[in-house]
Amino acid sequence: MYSEVVNFKPAWSKYGVSANSADLLTHLEFGISAVKQRMIMNGYPGTVQACLDGMSVQDDMAVRWILTLLNDLLREDSSAFALFEEALKKKVDVFKPMMKVLETKRADTYSCDKAAWVLSGVMCNCPAFFGESAVTDFMKVASSTCTKQGNLDAVGNLLKAEKYRSLVWNHGDVAETVFNVYASTPSPIMYKSIFCLWLVSYDRSLIGDLKARRIVSHIKDLLTTSRVEKIVRINLTLLRNLLKFKEISEEIVESHVLEVVQSLEYEKWRCTELYDEIREMVTLISHEVLEFSNFDRYEKELSTGQLAWGFIHTSKFWAENVTKFEHNDFGAVKKLAACLHSSNAVTLAVACHDIGEFVGLHPLGKRKITELAIKDRVMELMGSTGDDMREVRREALLCCQKIMLNIGHQKDLAK
């Protein structure tokens, strides 16, 4: 379609547009640089209005011609948006003609995608001229007339404007559309989706929503399955932004994203700079792993009385930190014992698991467990009922086995 549009020769004087508009439009052409095109438009005041007038002609190819020319111009030379800003200052209505294309050319997705990109780009670069109602009206129409690529392109443009970011993200099914990409999704759509997430990650107020939508798992899946360089790079850029937020960086550590990023270094990439970006991200995540796998964090979680599976409840963590449980007269072990009386099934399961680790790894583990009368409570949990307690019963059984094995081991040492 693109080559057909570029080779088309609009007969502007025959389309019914005003003589002035037709004259101005004849100065525009394909095959010249964006800078020269911008200079031509700048040298003929009223060219933006002429382009908007030209979109009302009945010849679909002529409409596509204008939209394609504006797309190419603005994509290649972002300073050309100043032409639209000047037109807006002179009260030129950019919004209605573009919206008319979207509303009347529904069957022509080529024109709709081009019109949506141009209008969203103008709104992003000139936000002072468009209110919230204009943004919501535009998104409502664009989502129903554009292709998925065209819709994501428009959303991405609007998300560039800090003024619109929260409004756009919370509008309709925008968030669902952005997240709705998989390994089989075409690369251009996948890239634009991640690009949108990267823009959203600059808004602190939206981080909670990104976390709730499991953005870390989403990135991990894409990094695991995609070997398209620009997709890997934009994912790494997104991760860099997300590491700034504690609640997300913790999840990045606990989801073992580090291992996935490390594996990328052994792939063959055309761009050598990508290897540097991968190594840098490995360093950044490794730093977070060290910070989040410390004993202070474990004690902080214990103080809440609510435990959840994660890195600080792994064998690796216990092997590195078991001696620290001696601090404050085994205060952490006492808090762990208190967690065995929680009403939360996950907390009970994690507590049983951790007590088993403590008994198996610490020389005084059995003695402390006996002093705190923990064994009896663990045995009670082994007999708990209900489907929601299945994990608790399993962890309690494993814990009890470790306690009994430890008893046998101590008897052997005494002989």
Dump the DSSP string for 58-117.
Answer: S-HHHHHHHHHHHHHHHHH-GGGHHHHHHHHHTT---HHHHHHHHHH-TT-HHHHHHHHH
CB 293, CB 312: distance < 8 Å: yes
Amino acid at 105: K
The pTM of this model reads 0.76
CA dihedral 64, 65, 68, 74 (to 10 degrees): -130
At 138, the pLDDT band (50, 70, 90 cuts) reads very high
pLDDT of residue 411: 40
CB 54, CB 12: distance < 8 Å: yes
Residue whose C-alpha is closest to residue 302's, from 245, 369, 355: 355
- Residue 413 pLDDT > 70: no
The dihedral through the CA atoms of 239, 244, 248, 252 has a sign that is positive
Q: Which CATH superfamily is domain 295-414 in?
A: V-type ATPase, subunit H, C-terminal domain (1.25.40.150)
Percent of the chain surpassing pLDDT 70: 97
Here the tokens at position 68 are: 């394609």
* Structure confidence by residue, pLDDT tens digits, 264-304: 999 999 988 999 999 999 999 998 887 776 788 888 889 99
* b/e map 140-163, b = 16+ CB within 10 Å: ebbbebbebebbbbbbbbbbbbeb
**Domain residues of the chain, as ranges?**
181-292, 295-414
Alpha helices in 293-344 (DSSP H): 295-304, 315-321, 327-339
pLDDT of residue 142: 92
